[in-house]
């Protein structure tokens, strides 16, 4: 079942509500693009590829519900929808990438009929979703190809089917290796403060039958230094042209510990997540979320933090390319120098 999809019968966007997992599996539907934008912002849906597909379907929904009778009016409606969706979350480049593709259809001079534009917008959104699944499987094959049997892998955040339309990026590699009989074992970082690892990655690994154990984020260094880890696999919400990677907060510390202990560290990144317009990671905008995500943590029903405490809550950090062994893309595994080789991988996907 796909994380985000189009309900043809009701002309709505459907998503798995990831806030409820693992306790409850529930699909929710949205009837306008404002609701889709809110779902992205409030993390009903999360993960860069899934966010991009959700925005694409949000644009398609904007076309379907538009009351415009002429193409220029509908184009104005779609431009307004693009602004709302674009503002939902700042770090994941797939959001802007998908909206740009949708606006390319909206402004196609060859489309001069409202119904034709509605159909073309929906077709492009579905194409983006279908492409994501195919790209993920290609990445998974490349990534699984470099894994040996019985590897122990540390994985951070959630990068599986829930973070994409289906299959996944880094977790997709693990899933592929499992299906190839390589028997990987995963040490799942909890990934605080929202616990995407303990909640979502663990749930997905249960579905696939992959062996795993949950660890606290600050235990990763212990396992890396004790020689009990063969590889680190993470995803990314944006990669700069030089191979610096923006990923879920805690990735940078994990990469430092991996480097210090000579453990290979790989990011699994579709080329749509590579932003060649940003030369280095420090220029990537970092989302800072509500402090309640940190302060609201409870143990046995009691809030951990003192009443009146304040917190900082950056959602992502930057892992510099010097700490990255390789970047797995749908066009193969990219190794340093990333400034040259990553660009070639991206251009290869565009040809």
Q: How much is the CA Rg of the chain, to the nearest whole Å?
A: 20
Query: What's the CA gap between 83 and 298, in Å, rounded?
Result: 36
Whether 237 is catalytic is yes
| Gap between the Cα atoms of 350 and 185, Å rounded | 35
Of 237, 244, 275, 317, the active-site residue reads: 237
From CA 111, how far away is CA 107, in angstroms rounded? 8
Report the 10 Å Cβ neighbour count for 331.
18
**What are the C-alpha distances in Å from 306 to residues 296, 312, 327?**
11, 15, 41
The token pair at 242 is 């030089």
Instruction: Kindly provide the residue ranges of all beta strands, DSSP E only, lying in the chain, ordered along the sequence.
Output: 4-7, 12-16, 27-30, 152-155, 185-189, 211-215, 231-234, 238-240, 245-248, 265-268, 274-275, 298-299, 302-303, 316-319, 326-329, 332-334
For residue 337, CA distances in Å to 138, 262, 324, 325, 326 come to 22, 19, 11, 10, 10
Closest CA to 20 of 54, 43, 2, 52: 43
Residues 6+ apart with CB under 8 A from 84: 33, 34, 37
Q: Cite the active site residues.
A: 237
């Amino acid at each position: 079942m796909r994380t985000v999809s189009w309900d043809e019968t009701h002309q709505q966007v459907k998503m798995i509500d990831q806030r409820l997992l693992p306790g409850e599996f529930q699909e929710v539907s949205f009837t306008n693009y404002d609701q889709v934008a809110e779902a992205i912002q409030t993390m009903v849906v999360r993960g860069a590829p899934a966010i991009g597909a959700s925005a694409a379907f949000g644009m398609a929904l904007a076309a379907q519900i538009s009351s415009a009778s002429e193409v220029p009016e509908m184009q104005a409606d779609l431009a307004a929808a693009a602004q709302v969706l674009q503002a939902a979350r700042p770090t994941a480049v797939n959001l802007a990438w998908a909206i740009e593709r949708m606006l390319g259809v909206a402004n196609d001079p060859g489309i001069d009929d409202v119904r034709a534009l509605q159909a073309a917008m929906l077709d492009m959104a579905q194409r983006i979703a279908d492409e994501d699944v195919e790209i993920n499987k290609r990445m998974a094959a490349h990534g699984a190809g470099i894994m040996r049997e019985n590897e122990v892998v540390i994985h951070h955040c959630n990068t599986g089917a829930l973070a994409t339309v289906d299959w996944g990026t880094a977790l997709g590699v693990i899933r592929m290796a499992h299906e190839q009989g390589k028997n990987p074992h995963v040490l799942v970082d909890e990934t605080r403060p929202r616990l995407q690892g303990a909640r979502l990655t663990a749930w997905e690994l249960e579905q696939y039958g992959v062996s795993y154990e949950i660890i606290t984020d600050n235990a990763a260094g212990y396992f890396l230094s004790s020689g009990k880890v063969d590889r680190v696999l993470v995803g990314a919400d944006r990669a700069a042209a030089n191979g610096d990677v923006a990923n879920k907060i805690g990735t940078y510390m994990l990469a430092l510990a991996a480097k210090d202990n000579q453990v290979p560290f790989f990011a699994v990144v579709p080329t749509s997540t590579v932003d060649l317009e940003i030369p280095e990671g420090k220029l990537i905008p970092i989302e800072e979320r509500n402090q309640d995500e940190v302060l609201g943590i409870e143990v046995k029903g009691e809030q951990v933090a003192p009443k009146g405490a304040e917190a900082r809550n950056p959602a992502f950090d930057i892992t510099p390319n010097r700490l990255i062994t390789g970047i797995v893309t749908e066009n193969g595994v990219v190794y340093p120098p990333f400034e040259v080789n990553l660009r070639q991988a991206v251009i290869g996907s565009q040809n």
